[in-house]
């Protein structure tokens, strides 16, 4: 409140002498102007509150229509958010604390106001009321936030959480208080080093932001973007941490879908040509850098595939391609790169494989493809595959060199009657 503004005081006091003392003290103060309205009962006070606005209520506890702490509680209901300062004839500390718990903001003993003491207490009560209103507004804003907000002490024990935290994690704010966030949501998907790095930054007074996978109360996993800020006191010591948690599961799923669309062939689910060529270049560089490292490229082409499309239709042709891709995936290791380069042309990059490994896999693929049978109303559809293989060489200047060798081996396999595997001698 502006010190120059007149403070409107409602004085509820049944003793005329005490009321006169209050008016006199406030009239003599040099710290502001006070407009005092005097009433002698709670009923009169209620009518005054209904008729005019007031900034503060000075309340005697012994009134004709109320007595003791019941007076504070009744006045609290009537005065709503107006601060109440209790005036009493007893200097009992325990009773004063009880009065504060009942809804008063301060307590003064009659006749013990001192110089400017009453005016100072009134101003402090208004300041506290203003700060409390501001805190309530901030809490309401945090509680209305879409993101989860959690406040912990220095030991990372939750002292407050908003409603969005409950919606995100499944734990109500009441359940969360008193627990470490990790006790509630840790999924085990991040290792100890992740948390050690995070806390090293926080304890150094730095903000931390990152993404992690957490676990809800029901056991389901979700992707979370977490931002944590240390809170320091006037001495620069960390006293609390504020965490803001955002559920980014949908965004991560969309990113994965976009990544898959950008890197895979939509029909077969194998890598597309762009990704394959990138991986081939990486593997070529690795072979050139490491003396004893080896890798092999297989080029594969379905024999007479155009006849299948022409005789049985493109739907059957797609079924053949998908069946072939499934066999390819089932026989590939996690480090291999199986890809559809276009049409019925495929390739598999075998990382760390030598000639024997590659030819064994190629022969296994050839046999399994020859066993494919696709049902069709015109009769069963069967296919075969021709495979050419070549080793990546340390002196290959680019991926085109090994592609050329493997492609030449593939055509040699076709020239030898198809349904063959052939190793490039170059």
Same-domain pairing of 166 and 34? no
Same-domain pairing of 226 and 289? no
Residue 419 lies in a domain: yes
Contact (Cβ atoms closer than 8 angstroms) between residue 14 and residue 64: yes
Residue 253 lies in a domain: no
Residue 258 lies in a domain: no
Residue 213 sits at the vertex; the CA angle it makes with 207 and 214, to the nearest 5 degrees, is 90
Same-domain pairing of 277 and 169? no
Tens of pLDDT, residues 329-360: 999 999 999 999 999 999 999 999 999 999 99
The domain of 298 spans 264-423
> End of a domain among 93, 113, 141?
141
pTM: 0.56
Same-domain pairing of 273 and 418? yes
- The SS3 call for residue 153 is strand
Q: In this structure, what token pair is assigned to residue 237? A: 């010591």
Mean pLDDT of 191-195: 92
Same-domain pairing of 236 and 381? no
Q: Considering only CA atoms, which of 172, 212, 164 is closest in space to residue 188?
A: 212
Same-domain pairing of 306 and 211? no
Same-domain pairing of 52 and 102? yes
Same-domain pairing of 197 and 127? no
> End of a domain among 110, 141, 172?
141
The CATH number of whichever domain residue 124 belongs to comes to: 3.40.50.2300
The CATH number of whichever domain residue 301 belongs to comes to: 3.30.70.270
> What angle separates helix 355-370 from helix 314-331, to the nearest 10 degrees?
140
Residue 300 lies in a domain: yes
> End of a domain among 141, 163, 184?
141
Start-to-end CA span in the chain (Å): 90
Q: In this structure, what token pair is assigned to residue 218? A: 């029901």
Find where tokens 């006191």 sit.
233
Secondary structure element (H or E) that encloses residue 194, with its range? helix 192-203
Residue 276 lies in a domain: yes
Tens of pLDDT, residues 58-114: 998 889 998 888 988 998 888 888 999 988 877 666 777 788 888 888 888 887 776
Same-domain pairing of 211 and 227? yes
Same-domain pairing of 190 and 276? no
The CATH number of whichever domain residue 233 belongs to comes to: 3.30.450.20
Tens of pLDDT, residues 261-284: 888 999 999 999 999 999 999 999
């Amino acid at each position: 409140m502006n010190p120059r503004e007149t403070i409107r005081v409602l004085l509820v006091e049944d003793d005329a002498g005490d009321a006169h003392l209050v008016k006199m003290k406030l009239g003599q103060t040099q710290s502001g102007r006070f407009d005092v309205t005097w009433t002698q009962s709670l009923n009169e006070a209620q009518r005054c509150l209904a008729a005019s606005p007031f900034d503060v209520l000075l309340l005697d506890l012994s009134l004709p229509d109320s007595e003791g702490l019941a007076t504070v509680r009744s006045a609290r209901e009537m005065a709503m958010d107006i601060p109440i300062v209790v005036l009493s004839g007893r200097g009992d500390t325990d009773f004063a604390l009880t009065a504060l718990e009942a809804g008063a903001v301060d307590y003064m003993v009659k006749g013990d106001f001192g110089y400017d003491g009453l005016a100072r207490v009134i101003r402090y009560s208004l300041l506290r009321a203003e700060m409390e209103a501001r805190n309530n507004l901030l809490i309401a804003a945090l509680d209305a936030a879409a993101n989860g907000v959690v406040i912990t002490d220095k030991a990372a024990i939750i002292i407050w959480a908003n409603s969005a935290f409950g919606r995100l994690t499944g734990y109500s704010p009441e359940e969360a208080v008193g627990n470490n966030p990790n006790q509630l949501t840790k999924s085990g998907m991040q290792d100890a080093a992740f948390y050690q790095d995070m806390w090293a930054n926080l304890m150094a007074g730095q903000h931390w932001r990152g993404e992690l996978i957490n676990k809800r109360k029901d056991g389901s996993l979700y992707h979370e973007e977490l931002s944590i800020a240390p809170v320091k006191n006037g001495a620069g010591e960390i006293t609390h941490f504020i965490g803001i948690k955002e559920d980014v599961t949908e965004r991560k799923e969309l990113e994965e879908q976009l990544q898959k669309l950008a890197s895979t062939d939509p029909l077969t689910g194998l890598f597309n040509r762009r990704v394959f060529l990138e991986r081939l270049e990486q593997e070529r560089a690795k072979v050139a850098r490491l003396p004893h490292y080896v890798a092999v490229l297989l080029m594969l082409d379905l024999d007479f595939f155009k006849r299948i499309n022409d005789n049985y239709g493109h739907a059957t042709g797609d079924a053949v391609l998908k069946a072939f891709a499934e066999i390819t995936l089932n026989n590939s290791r996690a480090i291999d790169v199986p890809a559809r380069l276009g049409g019925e042309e495929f390739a598999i990059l075998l990382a760390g494989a030598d000639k024997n490994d590659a030819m064994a896999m190629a022969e296994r693929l050839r046999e399994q493809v020859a066993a494919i049978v696709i049902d069709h109303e015109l009769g069963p559809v069967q296919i075969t595959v021709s495979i050419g293989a070549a080793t990546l060489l340390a002196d290959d200047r680019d991926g085109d060199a090994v592609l050329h060798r493997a492609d030449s081996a593939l055509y040699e396999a076709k020239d030898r009657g198809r349904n063959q595997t052939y190793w490039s001698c170059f």
